[in-house]
Chains A and B, each alone.
Chain A
Amino acid sequence: MTTATLTPTRPLVASAATPRVRALPVLTARRLALTVRSPRALLVPLLGPVMFAMVVAPALANTVSSPAGHARYMTFVSLATAGLLIPLNCLLFGLGVLVDRRSGAMRELLVAPIRRQSIVLGNLVAALAVTALQIAVLIGAAALRGATFVTSSRVLWFLAGGALLVVVMYSLAEVLSIRLGSPEEYTGSLPVFAIVPFFFAGSLYPITSLPHWLADAAKVLPLTHALALFRYGLTTQGGQALHNIWGMTNDTAMALLSLAVLAAYAVAALAGAVRLFTKTCTS
Protein backbone atom coordinates (compact mmCIF):
# COMPACT_ATOMS: atom_id res chain seq x y z
CA MET A 1 0.00 0.00 0.00
CA THR A 2 1.42 3.40 -0.94
CA THR A 3 1.79 6.23 1.51
CA ALA A 4 1.42 9.23 -0.73
CA THR A 5 1.85 12.63 0.83
CA LEU A 6 -1.40 14.16 2.02
CA THR A 7 -1.82 17.81 2.72
CA PRO A 8 -2.44 18.56 6.38
CA THR A 9 -6.01 18.74 7.45
CA ARG A 10 -8.05 21.85 7.62
CA PRO A 11 -11.79 21.79 7.65
CA LEU A 12 -13.05 21.81 4.08
CA VAL A 13 -16.73 22.20 4.90
CA ALA A 14 -18.00 25.58 3.72
CA SER A 15 -20.13 26.10 6.80
CA ALA A 16 -21.26 24.00 9.74
CA ALA A 17 -24.92 24.06 8.72
CA THR A 18 -25.48 22.92 5.16
CA PRO A 19 -28.55 24.68 3.80
CA ARG A 20 -31.47 22.41 3.01
CA VAL A 21 -31.52 23.47 -0.62
CA ARG A 22 -28.01 22.14 -1.19
CA ALA A 23 -28.86 18.66 0.09
CA LEU A 24 -32.08 18.24 -1.89
CA PRO A 25 -30.63 17.95 -5.40
CA VAL A 26 -27.86 15.69 -4.12
CA LEU A 27 -30.31 13.34 -2.44
CA THR A 28 -32.68 13.40 -5.41
CA ALA A 29 -29.84 12.54 -7.77
CA ARG A 30 -28.78 9.71 -5.49
CA ARG A 31 -32.27 8.23 -5.35
CA LEU A 32 -32.61 8.50 -9.14
CA ALA A 33 -29.21 6.84 -9.63
CA LEU A 34 -30.25 3.97 -7.37
CA THR A 35 -33.75 3.54 -8.77
CA VAL A 36 -33.28 4.08 -12.48
CA ARG A 37 -30.13 2.15 -13.19
CA SER A 38 -31.47 0.73 -16.42
CA PRO A 39 -34.36 1.34 -18.84
CA ARG A 40 -35.96 -1.76 -17.40
CA ALA A 41 -36.38 -0.04 -14.04
CA LEU A 42 -38.38 2.70 -15.77
CA LEU A 43 -40.40 0.46 -18.04
CA VAL A 44 -41.48 -2.38 -15.77
CA PRO A 45 -43.84 -0.28 -13.60
CA LEU A 46 -45.35 1.05 -16.84
CA LEU A 47 -46.28 -2.31 -18.29
CA GLY A 48 -49.52 -2.82 -16.40
CA PRO A 49 -50.98 0.64 -16.87
CA VAL A 50 -49.92 0.83 -20.54
CA MET A 51 -51.52 -2.55 -21.17
CA PHE A 52 -54.63 -1.27 -19.44
CA ALA A 53 -54.67 1.85 -21.59
CA MET A 54 -53.88 0.18 -24.88
CA VAL A 55 -55.65 -3.16 -24.55
CA VAL A 56 -58.14 -3.26 -21.72
CA ALA A 57 -59.61 0.21 -22.20
CA PRO A 58 -60.41 -0.31 -25.92
CA ALA A 59 -61.75 -3.80 -25.18
CA LEU A 60 -64.01 -2.46 -22.45
CA ALA A 61 -65.10 0.35 -24.74
CA ASN A 62 -66.01 -2.20 -27.40
CA THR A 63 -67.95 -4.26 -24.90
CA VAL A 64 -69.85 -1.72 -22.86
CA SER A 65 -70.33 1.38 -24.97
CA SER A 66 -72.09 2.38 -28.15
CA PRO A 67 -70.01 3.26 -31.24
CA ALA A 68 -70.74 6.91 -30.55
CA GLY A 69 -69.37 6.61 -27.05
CA HIS A 70 -66.43 4.32 -27.87
CA ALA A 71 -63.69 6.91 -27.97
CA ARG A 72 -65.21 8.69 -25.01
CA TYR A 73 -65.17 5.58 -22.82
CA MET A 74 -61.71 4.60 -23.98
CA THR A 75 -60.44 8.03 -23.02
CA PHE A 76 -62.29 7.74 -19.71
CA VAL A 77 -60.56 4.49 -18.80
CA SER A 78 -57.17 5.27 -20.33
CA LEU A 79 -56.79 8.38 -18.22
CA ALA A 80 -57.82 6.43 -15.15
CA THR A 81 -54.78 4.19 -15.54
CA ALA A 82 -52.74 7.16 -14.37
CA GLY A 83 -54.55 6.55 -11.10
CA LEU A 84 -53.10 3.03 -11.11
CA LEU A 85 -49.61 4.00 -12.19
CA ILE A 86 -49.05 6.74 -9.63
CA PRO A 87 -49.79 4.65 -6.51
CA LEU A 88 -47.92 1.62 -7.88
CA ASN A 89 -44.88 3.64 -8.80
CA CYS A 90 -44.76 5.52 -5.52
CA LEU A 91 -45.14 2.37 -3.47
CA LEU A 92 -42.39 0.68 -5.46
CA PHE A 93 -40.19 3.67 -4.65
CA GLY A 94 -40.95 3.02 -1.00
CA LEU A 95 -39.70 -0.53 -1.38
CA GLY A 96 -36.37 0.86 -2.54
CA VAL A 97 -36.27 3.11 0.52
CA LEU A 98 -36.94 0.15 2.79
CA VAL A 99 -34.09 -1.81 1.23
CA ASP A 100 -31.88 1.27 1.53
CA ARG A 101 -32.55 1.41 5.23
CA ARG A 102 -31.57 -2.19 5.71
CA SER A 103 -28.54 -2.50 3.49
CA GLY A 104 -27.75 0.79 1.83
CA ALA A 105 -26.18 4.04 2.74
CA MET A 106 -29.08 5.42 4.74
CA ARG A 107 -26.99 5.53 7.92
CA GLU A 108 -24.37 7.58 6.11
CA LEU A 109 -27.09 10.09 5.25
CA LEU A 110 -28.19 10.21 8.88
CA VAL A 111 -24.74 11.36 10.02
CA ALA A 112 -24.38 13.88 7.18
CA PRO A 113 -24.63 17.61 8.02
CA ILE A 114 -28.07 17.96 6.48
CA ARG A 115 -31.53 18.31 7.86
CA ARG A 116 -32.97 14.84 7.98
CA GLN A 117 -36.23 15.94 6.40
CA SER A 118 -34.19 16.43 3.23
CA ILE A 119 -33.80 12.68 2.91
CA VAL A 120 -37.57 12.19 2.61
CA LEU A 121 -37.96 15.22 0.36
CA GLY A 122 -35.13 14.11 -1.93
CA ASN A 123 -36.82 10.73 -2.40
CA LEU A 124 -40.13 12.49 -3.05
CA VAL A 125 -38.68 14.72 -5.76
CA ALA A 126 -37.15 11.66 -7.43
CA ALA A 127 -40.54 9.90 -7.30
CA LEU A 128 -42.18 12.99 -8.85
CA ALA A 129 -39.64 13.11 -11.68
CA VAL A 130 -39.88 9.43 -12.56
CA THR A 131 -43.66 9.36 -12.27
CA ALA A 132 -44.03 12.43 -14.47
CA LEU A 133 -41.99 10.76 -17.19
CA GLN A 134 -44.01 7.59 -16.96
CA ILE A 135 -47.34 9.44 -17.03
CA ALA A 136 -46.21 11.23 -20.18
CA VAL A 137 -45.43 7.85 -21.78
CA LEU A 138 -48.78 6.46 -20.65
CA ILE A 139 -50.79 9.39 -22.02
CA GLY A 140 -48.83 9.21 -25.26
CA ALA A 141 -49.51 5.47 -25.61
CA ALA A 142 -53.22 5.97 -24.90
CA ALA A 143 -53.42 8.77 -27.47
CA LEU A 144 -51.76 6.57 -30.06
CA ARG A 145 -54.37 3.93 -29.37
CA GLY A 146 -57.22 6.35 -29.99
CA ALA A 147 -57.94 8.13 -26.73
CA THR A 148 -58.68 11.82 -27.23
CA PHE A 149 -57.22 14.43 -24.92
CA VAL A 150 -57.57 18.18 -25.07
CA THR A 151 -54.77 20.63 -24.54
CA SER A 152 -55.68 23.91 -22.93
CA SER A 153 -54.87 25.85 -19.83
CA ARG A 154 -57.02 23.31 -17.96
CA VAL A 155 -54.12 20.88 -18.25
CA LEU A 156 -52.76 22.64 -15.16
CA TRP A 157 -55.51 20.98 -13.11
CA PHE A 158 -54.26 17.62 -14.36
CA LEU A 159 -50.67 18.49 -13.49
CA ALA A 160 -51.53 19.83 -10.04
CA GLY A 161 -53.76 16.87 -9.26
CA GLY A 162 -51.09 14.44 -10.41
CA ALA A 163 -48.34 16.11 -8.40
CA LEU A 164 -50.42 16.17 -5.24
CA LEU A 165 -51.41 12.54 -5.68
CA VAL A 166 -47.73 11.62 -5.96
CA VAL A 167 -47.05 13.48 -2.71
CA VAL A 168 -49.87 11.60 -0.96
CA MET A 169 -48.85 8.19 -2.25
CA TYR A 170 -45.12 8.63 -1.74
CA SER A 171 -45.70 9.83 1.82
CA LEU A 172 -47.79 6.73 2.41
CA ALA A 173 -44.97 4.64 0.96
CA GLU A 174 -42.49 6.26 3.33
CA VAL A 175 -44.71 5.53 6.33
CA LEU A 176 -45.24 1.92 5.27
CA SER A 177 -41.51 1.41 4.74
CA ILE A 178 -40.94 2.50 8.35
CA ARG A 179 -43.86 0.69 9.93
CA LEU A 180 -43.60 -2.60 8.02
CA GLY A 181 -40.38 -4.31 8.96
CA SER A 182 -39.69 -6.47 5.95
CA PRO A 183 -39.83 -6.23 2.16
CA GLU A 184 -42.22 -9.20 2.22
CA GLU A 185 -44.72 -7.42 4.46
CA TYR A 186 -44.35 -4.27 2.44
CA THR A 187 -44.94 -6.03 -0.88
CA GLY A 188 -47.98 -7.76 0.62
CA SER A 189 -49.52 -4.38 1.40
CA LEU A 190 -49.24 -3.08 -2.18
CA PRO A 191 -52.61 -4.39 -3.43
CA VAL A 192 -54.45 -2.80 -0.52
CA PHE A 193 -53.04 0.66 -1.11
CA ALA A 194 -52.32 0.67 -4.84
CA ILE A 195 -54.95 -1.50 -6.47
CA VAL A 196 -58.10 -1.72 -4.35
CA PRO A 197 -58.83 2.05 -4.33
CA PHE A 198 -58.57 2.02 -8.14
CA PHE A 199 -61.87 0.14 -8.34
CA PHE A 200 -63.76 2.57 -6.11
CA ALA A 201 -62.46 5.92 -7.29
CA GLY A 202 -64.37 6.28 -10.55
CA SER A 203 -61.73 4.65 -12.75
CA LEU A 204 -63.78 2.22 -14.84
CA TYR A 205 -67.21 3.70 -14.11
CA PRO A 206 -68.47 6.86 -12.42
CA ILE A 207 -68.80 6.67 -8.65
CA THR A 208 -72.51 7.29 -9.08
CA SER A 209 -72.72 3.73 -10.45
CA LEU A 210 -71.78 2.41 -7.03
CA PRO A 211 -74.22 1.84 -4.15
CA HIS A 212 -74.89 5.08 -2.38
CA TRP A 213 -72.82 4.30 0.69
CA LEU A 214 -69.84 3.20 -1.43
CA ALA A 215 -70.09 6.33 -3.52
CA ASP A 216 -69.96 8.41 -0.33
CA ALA A 217 -66.93 6.42 0.82
CA ALA A 218 -65.27 6.96 -2.55
CA LYS A 219 -65.56 10.72 -2.10
CA VAL A 220 -63.14 10.46 0.83
CA LEU A 221 -60.43 8.83 -1.28
CA PRO A 222 -57.70 11.18 -2.59
CA LEU A 223 -57.62 9.11 -5.80
CA THR A 224 -61.25 9.98 -6.53
CA HIS A 225 -60.48 13.69 -6.43
CA ALA A 226 -57.29 13.23 -8.44
CA LEU A 227 -59.08 11.31 -11.21
CA ALA A 228 -61.81 13.94 -11.33
CA LEU A 229 -59.15 16.61 -11.79
CA PHE A 230 -57.41 14.52 -14.46
CA ARG A 231 -60.65 14.29 -16.44
CA TYR A 232 -61.44 17.97 -15.95
CA GLY A 233 -57.95 18.92 -17.09
CA LEU A 234 -57.47 16.66 -20.08
CA THR A 235 -60.80 15.56 -21.51
CA THR A 236 -63.92 16.96 -23.11
CA GLN A 237 -65.99 15.38 -20.34
CA GLY A 238 -65.23 18.48 -18.33
CA GLY A 239 -66.52 18.55 -14.80
CA GLN A 240 -68.82 15.51 -14.83
CA ALA A 241 -66.60 13.56 -12.42
CA LEU A 242 -66.30 16.63 -10.22
CA HIS A 243 -70.06 17.00 -10.27
CA ASN A 244 -70.42 13.36 -9.15
CA ILE A 245 -68.42 14.32 -6.05
CA TRP A 246 -69.65 17.80 -5.20
CA GLY A 247 -73.04 18.05 -6.91
CA MET A 248 -72.45 21.68 -7.90
CA THR A 249 -72.63 23.33 -11.32
CA ASN A 250 -69.58 25.59 -11.24
CA ASP A 251 -66.76 23.43 -12.63
CA THR A 252 -63.97 25.74 -11.50
CA ALA A 253 -65.30 25.91 -7.95
CA MET A 254 -65.56 22.13 -7.80
CA ALA A 255 -62.05 21.75 -9.20
CA LEU A 256 -60.74 24.11 -6.55
CA LEU A 257 -62.50 22.11 -3.85
CA SER A 258 -61.02 18.82 -5.07
CA LEU A 259 -57.61 20.41 -5.36
CA ALA A 260 -57.96 21.69 -1.79
CA VAL A 261 -58.90 18.20 -0.57
CA LEU A 262 -55.90 16.71 -2.33
CA ALA A 263 -53.64 19.45 -1.01
CA ALA A 264 -54.85 18.80 2.54
CA TYR A 265 -54.14 15.10 2.14
CA ALA A 266 -50.71 15.87 0.68
CA VAL A 267 -49.72 18.26 3.46
CA ALA A 268 -50.93 15.93 6.20
CA ALA A 269 -49.38 12.84 4.65
CA LEU A 270 -46.03 14.48 3.98
CA ALA A 271 -45.88 16.08 7.41
CA GLY A 272 -46.71 12.74 8.98
CA ALA A 273 -44.10 10.91 6.94
CA VAL A 274 -41.36 13.45 7.70
CA ARG A 275 -42.22 13.45 11.39
CA LEU A 276 -42.22 9.66 11.59
CA PHE A 277 -38.95 9.45 9.69
CA THR A 278 -37.12 11.99 11.84
CA LYS A 279 -38.51 10.41 14.98
CA THR A 280 -37.55 6.86 14.08
CA CYS A 281 -34.20 7.49 12.38
CA THR A 282 -32.63 7.93 15.80
CA SER A 283 -33.08 5.30 18.47
Chain B
Amino acid sequence: MSTEFAVEAQSLVKTYPGGVEAVRGISFDVRRGESFGLLGPNGAGKTTTIGMLTTAVTPTSGRAVLAGRDVARDPVGSRAISSVVFQDAVVDAPLTGRQNLELHLRLWGVARSEGRRRLEELGTAVGLTDILDRAVATYSGGERRRLEIIRALLSAPQVLFLDEPTVGLDTRVRHDLFDVVTTLRERTGVTVILTTHYLDEAERLCDRLAVIDNGALVACDTPAALLASMGPEVLELRVDRADLPTRLLEEAGVPHRHTSVVGSTVVVSLASITAEEVTQALERVGVLVMSATRRRPTLDDVYLRLTGAQLRASDN
Protein backbone atom coordinates (compact mmCIF):
# COMPACT_ATOMS: atom_id res chain seq x y z
CA MET B 1 0.00 0.00 0.00
CA SER B 2 1.07 3.58 -0.67
CA THR B 3 3.11 5.55 1.86
CA GLU B 4 1.44 8.76 0.67
CA PHE B 5 -1.33 7.87 3.07
CA ALA B 6 -1.01 7.87 6.84
CA VAL B 7 -4.08 5.69 7.26
CA GLU B 8 -5.62 3.22 4.84
CA ALA B 9 -8.74 1.30 5.79
CA GLN B 10 -9.97 -1.36 3.36
CA SER B 11 -13.40 -2.91 3.81
CA LEU B 12 -13.23 -3.08 7.57
CA VAL B 13 -15.93 -5.25 9.08
CA LYS B 14 -16.62 -5.99 12.72
CA THR B 15 -19.33 -8.37 13.80
CA TYR B 16 -19.54 -9.00 17.52
CA PRO B 17 -20.69 -12.31 19.05
CA GLY B 18 -24.43 -12.50 18.77
CA GLY B 19 -24.35 -11.15 15.24
CA VAL B 20 -24.15 -7.45 16.05
CA GLU B 21 -22.68 -5.75 12.97
CA ALA B 22 -20.93 -2.75 14.41
CA VAL B 23 -18.95 -1.90 11.25
CA ARG B 24 -20.05 -3.01 7.80
CA GLY B 25 -17.33 -2.61 5.21
CA ILE B 26 -15.79 0.81 5.86
CA SER B 27 -13.02 2.01 3.53
CA PHE B 28 -11.18 5.33 3.50
CA ASP B 29 -7.70 6.81 3.08
CA VAL B 30 -6.19 9.68 5.03
CA ARG B 31 -3.25 11.66 3.67
CA ARG B 32 -0.28 12.49 5.83
CA GLY B 33 -0.87 15.67 7.80
CA GLU B 34 -4.61 15.63 7.18
CA SER B 35 -7.23 15.94 9.90
CA PHE B 36 -9.96 13.41 9.18
CA GLY B 37 -13.22 13.15 11.07
CA LEU B 38 -15.60 10.26 11.60
CA LEU B 39 -18.99 11.86 12.23
CA GLY B 40 -21.99 9.96 13.46
CA PRO B 41 -24.25 9.43 16.46
CA ASN B 42 -23.55 7.14 19.39
CA GLY B 43 -23.53 3.55 18.21
CA ALA B 44 -22.73 4.38 14.59
CA GLY B 45 -19.46 2.42 14.66
CA LYS B 46 -16.93 5.22 15.07
CA THR B 47 -15.19 3.92 18.17
CA THR B 48 -15.16 0.38 16.79
CA THR B 49 -13.52 1.69 13.62
CA ILE B 50 -10.87 3.48 15.66
CA GLY B 51 -10.46 0.32 17.72
CA MET B 52 -9.64 -1.68 14.59
CA LEU B 53 -7.09 0.91 13.50
CA THR B 54 -5.41 0.94 16.94
CA THR B 55 -5.42 -2.86 17.53
CA ALA B 56 -7.89 -2.59 20.41
CA VAL B 57 -10.51 -4.41 18.31
CA THR B 58 -9.83 -7.40 16.06
CA PRO B 59 -11.54 -6.92 12.69
CA THR B 60 -13.81 -9.67 11.46
CA SER B 61 -12.44 -8.92 8.00
CA GLY B 62 -10.71 -6.14 6.11
CA ARG B 63 -7.35 -4.54 6.34
CA ALA B 64 -5.90 -1.47 8.05
CA VAL B 65 -2.53 0.13 7.41
CA LEU B 66 -0.89 2.93 9.39
CA ALA B 67 1.98 4.70 7.62
CA GLY B 68 2.79 1.58 5.65
CA ARG B 69 2.47 -0.83 8.57
CA ASP B 70 -0.22 -3.49 8.34
CA VAL B 71 -2.03 -3.35 11.67
CA ALA B 72 -2.74 -7.10 11.76
CA ARG B 73 0.74 -8.25 10.70
CA ASP B 74 2.76 -5.69 12.63
CA PRO B 75 0.60 -4.56 15.55
CA VAL B 76 3.53 -3.48 17.70
CA GLY B 77 5.03 -1.48 14.83
CA SER B 78 1.74 0.22 14.05
CA ARG B 79 1.25 1.10 17.71
CA ALA B 80 4.74 2.56 17.81
CA ILE B 81 3.85 5.28 15.29
CA SER B 82 0.42 6.14 16.65
CA SER B 83 -1.19 7.41 19.83
CA VAL B 84 -4.74 7.46 21.12
CA VAL B 85 -6.77 9.83 23.25
CA PHE B 86 -9.69 7.76 24.45
CA GLN B 87 -13.25 8.85 25.00
CA ASP B 88 -13.09 8.07 28.72
CA ALA B 89 -10.26 9.25 30.92
CA VAL B 90 -7.49 6.65 30.74
CA VAL B 91 -4.96 7.80 33.27
CA ASP B 92 -3.51 6.46 36.49
CA ALA B 93 -5.32 8.86 38.80
CA PRO B 94 -3.21 8.12 41.91
CA LEU B 95 -0.04 9.08 40.03
CA THR B 96 1.00 12.61 39.15
CA GLY B 97 0.58 14.09 35.69
CA ARG B 98 4.34 13.93 35.21
CA GLN B 99 4.44 10.24 36.19
CA ASN B 100 1.69 9.45 33.70
CA LEU B 101 3.60 11.29 30.97
CA GLU B 102 6.92 9.67 31.82
CA LEU B 103 5.27 6.25 31.67
CA HIS B 104 4.17 6.99 28.12
CA LEU B 105 7.67 8.17 27.18
CA ARG B 106 9.26 5.00 28.49
CA LEU B 107 6.73 2.66 26.92
CA TRP B 108 7.19 4.33 23.54
CA GLY B 109 10.97 4.12 23.92
CA VAL B 110 11.63 7.86 23.76
CA ALA B 111 15.15 8.86 24.78
CA ARG B 112 15.13 10.36 28.26
CA SER B 113 16.57 13.79 27.49
CA GLU B 114 14.46 14.28 24.36
CA GLY B 115 11.39 13.10 26.23
CA ARG B 116 11.95 15.57 29.07
CA ARG B 117 12.39 18.40 26.60
CA ARG B 118 9.15 17.57 24.81
CA LEU B 119 7.31 17.10 28.07
CA GLU B 120 8.24 20.60 29.21
CA GLU B 121 7.50 22.05 25.78
CA LEU B 122 4.07 20.48 25.47
CA GLY B 123 3.23 21.13 29.10
CA THR B 124 3.92 24.82 28.55
CA ALA B 125 2.04 24.86 25.25
CA VAL B 126 -1.18 23.66 26.90
CA GLY B 127 -0.72 25.42 30.23
CA LEU B 128 -0.29 22.38 32.44
CA THR B 129 3.23 22.92 33.74
CA ASP B 130 2.09 24.19 37.13
CA ILE B 131 0.01 21.13 37.92
CA LEU B 132 2.12 18.34 36.45
CA ASP B 133 3.41 17.34 39.87
CA ARG B 134 -0.05 16.97 41.38
CA ALA B 135 -1.96 13.69 41.43
CA VAL B 136 -4.22 13.41 38.40
CA ALA B 137 -7.08 12.61 40.76
CA THR B 138 -7.07 16.33 41.66
CA TYR B 139 -7.39 17.52 38.07
CA SER B 140 -10.55 18.91 36.51
CA GLY B 141 -12.06 17.21 33.47
CA GLY B 142 -10.50 19.72 31.11
CA GLU B 143 -7.08 19.39 32.72
CA ARG B 144 -7.22 15.60 32.45
CA ARG B 145 -8.15 15.83 28.80
CA ARG B 146 -5.30 18.25 28.08
CA LEU B 147 -2.95 15.90 29.89
CA GLU B 148 -4.12 13.02 27.73
CA ILE B 149 -3.65 15.04 24.56
CA ILE B 150 -0.08 16.02 25.37
CA ARG B 151 0.61 12.48 26.52
CA ALA B 152 -0.47 11.22 23.14
CA LEU B 153 1.85 13.70 21.40
CA LEU B 154 4.94 13.03 23.50
CA SER B 155 6.23 10.28 21.24
CA ALA B 156 5.70 12.46 18.15
CA PRO B 157 3.28 9.99 16.58
CA GLN B 158 2.66 9.99 12.88
CA VAL B 159 -1.03 9.32 13.50
CA LEU B 160 -3.04 10.68 16.42
CA PHE B 161 -6.44 9.18 17.20
CA LEU B 162 -8.88 11.35 19.14
CA ASP B 163 -11.97 9.41 20.16
CA GLU B 164 -14.69 11.90 21.13
CA PRO B 165 -12.09 14.12 22.80
CA THR B 166 -14.45 16.77 24.16
CA VAL B 167 -17.44 14.73 25.25
CA GLY B 168 -18.67 15.70 28.69
CA LEU B 169 -16.67 18.94 28.83
CA ASP B 170 -18.21 22.39 29.09
CA THR B 171 -18.24 24.78 26.16
CA ARG B 172 -15.32 26.94 27.19
CA VAL B 173 -13.11 23.94 27.85
CA ARG B 174 -14.14 22.39 24.56
CA HIS B 175 -13.10 25.48 22.66
CA ASP B 176 -9.84 25.66 24.56
CA LEU B 177 -9.18 22.10 23.44
CA PHE B 178 -10.00 22.98 19.84
CA ASP B 179 -7.23 25.58 20.05
CA VAL B 180 -4.86 23.07 21.60
CA VAL B 181 -5.44 20.45 18.94
CA THR B 182 -5.27 22.96 16.09
CA THR B 183 -2.08 24.55 17.38
CA LEU B 184 -0.35 21.28 18.08
CA ARG B 185 -1.35 19.91 14.72
CA GLU B 186 0.01 22.96 12.92
CA ARG B 187 3.28 22.81 14.81
CA THR B 188 3.89 19.08 14.61
CA GLY B 189 2.22 18.11 11.32
CA VAL B 190 0.66 15.03 12.85
CA THR B 191 -2.16 13.24 11.02
CA VAL B 192 -5.31 13.36 13.12
CA ILE B 193 -8.21 10.93 13.06
CA LEU B 194 -11.07 12.34 15.10
CA THR B 195 -14.39 10.78 16.00
CA THR B 196 -17.16 13.07 17.12
CA HIS B 197 -20.86 13.69 17.13
CA TYR B 198 -20.37 17.42 17.71
CA LEU B 199 -20.89 19.43 14.54
CA ASP B 200 -18.84 22.45 15.57
CA GLU B 201 -15.94 20.18 16.41
CA ALA B 202 -16.16 18.41 13.07
CA GLU B 203 -16.36 21.63 11.10
CA ARG B 204 -13.61 23.34 13.02
CA LEU B 205 -11.04 20.57 13.31
CA CYS B 206 -11.45 18.41 10.21
CA ASP B 207 -10.17 18.80 6.67
CA ARG B 208 -12.45 15.97 5.58
CA LEU B 209 -15.36 14.16 7.16
CA ALA B 210 -16.67 10.64 6.82
CA VAL B 211 -20.31 10.36 7.80
CA ILE B 212 -20.99 7.02 9.43
CA ASP B 213 -24.39 5.58 10.06
CA ASN B 214 -25.26 2.14 11.34
CA GLY B 215 -21.76 0.84 10.71
CA ALA B 216 -21.52 2.03 7.12
CA LEU B 217 -19.80 5.00 5.51
CA VAL B 218 -22.48 7.03 3.75
CA ALA B 219 -20.46 10.07 2.63
CA CYS B 220 -16.88 11.31 2.68
CA ASP B 221 -15.87 14.82 1.69
CA THR B 222 -14.77 18.19 3.02
CA PRO B 223 -17.23 19.93 5.37
CA ALA B 224 -17.71 22.65 2.77
CA ALA B 225 -18.54 20.18 0.02
CA LEU B 226 -20.95 18.27 2.23
CA LEU B 227 -22.70 21.50 3.11
CA ALA B 228 -22.71 22.62 -0.51
CA SER B 229 -24.64 19.47 -1.43
CA MET B 230 -27.55 20.96 0.48
CA GLY B 231 -27.48 24.17 -1.53
CA PRO B 232 -27.00 27.71 -0.19
CA GLU B 233 -30.18 27.62 1.93
CA VAL B 234 -32.64 25.25 3.51
CA LEU B 235 -36.19 25.78 4.63
CA GLU B 236 -37.03 24.53 8.11
CA LEU B 237 -40.73 24.01 8.74
CA ARG B 238 -42.72 23.05 11.78
CA VAL B 239 -45.90 21.32 10.73
CA ASP B 240 -49.02 20.17 12.49
CA ARG B 241 -48.22 16.46 12.48
CA ALA B 242 -45.25 14.35 13.47
CA ASP B 243 -43.23 12.10 11.22
CA LEU B 244 -44.73 13.27 7.99
CA PRO B 245 -44.14 10.51 5.44
CA THR B 246 -41.74 11.73 2.75
CA ARG B 247 -43.83 9.70 0.31
CA LEU B 248 -46.54 12.28 0.89
CA LEU B 249 -44.15 15.08 0.02
CA GLU B 250 -42.97 13.21 -3.07
CA GLU B 251 -46.55 12.95 -4.23
CA ALA B 252 -46.86 16.69 -3.73
CA GLY B 253 -43.71 17.32 -5.78
CA VAL B 254 -41.03 17.82 -3.10
CA PRO B 255 -38.06 15.54 -3.97
CA HIS B 256 -37.27 13.00 -1.26
CA ARG B 257 -33.52 13.35 -1.60
CA HIS B 258 -33.78 17.02 -0.66
CA THR B 259 -36.01 16.44 2.34
CA SER B 260 -35.64 15.18 5.88
CA VAL B 261 -38.24 14.80 8.60
CA VAL B 262 -37.69 14.55 12.34
CA GLY B 263 -40.84 14.65 14.40
CA SER B 264 -42.84 17.64 13.29
CA THR B 265 -39.81 19.39 11.76
CA VAL B 266 -39.33 19.18 8.02
CA VAL B 267 -36.10 20.45 6.44
CA VAL B 268 -36.00 20.93 2.71
CA SER B 269 -32.96 21.91 0.67
CA LEU B 270 -33.71 24.89 -1.56
CA ALA B 271 -31.10 23.79 -4.13
CA SER B 272 -33.75 22.88 -6.71
CA ILE B 273 -37.04 24.12 -5.29
CA THR B 274 -38.28 27.43 -3.88
CA ALA B 275 -39.71 28.04 -0.45
CA GLU B 276 -43.06 29.02 -1.96
CA GLU B 277 -43.25 25.79 -3.93
CA VAL B 278 -42.61 23.80 -0.76
CA THR B 279 -45.30 25.53 1.28
CA GLN B 280 -47.79 25.23 -1.57
CA ALA B 281 -47.01 21.53 -1.91
CA LEU B 282 -47.66 20.98 1.77
CA GLU B 283 -50.96 22.85 1.59
CA ARG B 284 -52.01 20.69 -1.35
CA VAL B 285 -51.65 17.56 0.76
CA GLY B 286 -53.44 19.11 3.71
CA VAL B 287 -50.46 19.80 5.98
CA LEU B 288 -50.64 22.94 8.11
CA VAL B 289 -47.35 24.88 8.35
CA MET B 290 -46.93 26.33 11.87
CA SER B 291 -43.65 28.15 11.15
CA ALA B 292 -41.11 28.44 8.37
CA THR B 293 -37.48 29.61 8.59
CA ARG B 294 -34.92 30.01 5.84
CA ARG B 295 -31.39 29.48 7.01
CA ARG B 296 -28.00 28.20 6.00
CA PRO B 297 -27.59 24.43 6.08
CA THR B 298 -25.67 22.72 8.87
CA LEU B 299 -23.92 19.39 9.06
CA ASP B 300 -26.89 18.18 11.04
CA ASP B 301 -29.03 18.73 7.96
CA VAL B 302 -26.47 16.86 5.87
CA TYR B 303 -26.45 13.99 8.31
CA LEU B 304 -30.24 13.96 8.53
CA ARG B 305 -30.57 13.86 4.78
CA LEU B 306 -28.02 11.09 4.41
CA THR B 307 -29.18 8.89 7.22
CA GLY B 308 -32.63 9.95 8.32
CA ALA B 309 -31.28 10.41 11.88
CA GLN B 310 -30.26 13.48 13.81
CA LEU B 311 -27.00 14.14 15.59
CA ARG B 312 -27.13 15.43 19.12
CA ALA B 313 -26.85 19.25 19.14
CA SER B 314 -23.50 20.73 20.19
CA ASP B 315 -23.22 22.84 23.35
CA ASN B 316 -23.33 25.90 21.09
Using a CB–CB cutoff of 8 Å, the interface residues on chain A facing chain B are 1-18, 22-23, 26, 30, 33-34, 37, 103-115, 282-283
Contacts of A26 in B (CB 8 A): 103, 106-107
Closest Cβ neighbor of A6 among chain B residues = B187
Would A18 and B76 count as touching, CB distance under 8 A? yes
Is the CB–CB distance between B176 and A1 below 8 Å? Answer: yes
Interface residues of B in 117-131 (CB under 8 A from A): 118, 121-122, 124-127
Query: Taking beta carbons and an 8 Å cutoff, which residues of B are in contact with A?
Result: 16, 51, 54-58, 69, 74, 76-77, 79-84, 86, 90-95, 99-100, 103-104, 106-111, 114-115, 118, 121-122, 124-127, 151, 155-158, 176, 179-180, 183-184, 187-190
Select one of B84, B118, B125, B187 contacting A111, CB under 8 A: B84
Report whether B187 and A113 are in contact in the complex, using a CB–CB cutoff of 8 Å. no
> Do the beta carbons of A13 and B83 come within 8 Å of each other?
no
Q: What are 18 A-B pairs at a CB distance below 8 A?
A: A1-B126, A1-B180, A5-B187, A9-B189, A12-B108, A13-B109, A14-B110, A15-B109, A17-B76, A18-B76, A108-B84, A108-B91, A111-B55, A111-B79, A112-B104, A113-B77, A113-B80, A283-B57
Residue of B nearest to A30 (CB): B103
The interface centre, meaning the residue of B80, B86, B111, B126 with most chain A CB atoms within 10 A of its CB, is B80
Q: Within the complex, which residue of A3, A9, A106 is in contact with B188, where a contact is CB–CB below 8 Å?
A: A9
Question: Inside 8 A of B106's CB, which chain A residues have their CB?
Answer: 22, 26
Residues of B within 8 A of A103 (CB): 93
- With contacts A1-B176, A11-B156, A12-B155 taken as known, whether A6 is within 8 angstroms of B125 at the C-beta atoms is yes
Which chain B residues border A17 with CB–CB below 8 Å?
Answer: 74, 76-77, 80
The answer to whether B58 and A282 touch across the interface, beta carbons within 8 angstroms, is: yes
Residue of B nearest to A33 (CB): B95
Q: Is the Cβ of A4 less than 8 Å from the Cβ of B94?
A: no
Query: Which residues of A lie under 8 Å from residue B122 when comparing CB positions?
Result: 6
Instruction: Assess whether A114 is in contact with B107, with CB atoms less than 8 Å apart.
Output: yes
Give chain A residues whose Cβ lies under 8 Å from the Cβ of B176.
1
Check if B56 sits within 8 Å of A10, measured CB to CB: no
Cβ of B155 and Cβ of A13 under 8 Å apart?
yes
Residues of A within 8 A of B156 (CB): 9-13
Inter-chain contacts of A23 with B (CB < 8 A): 107
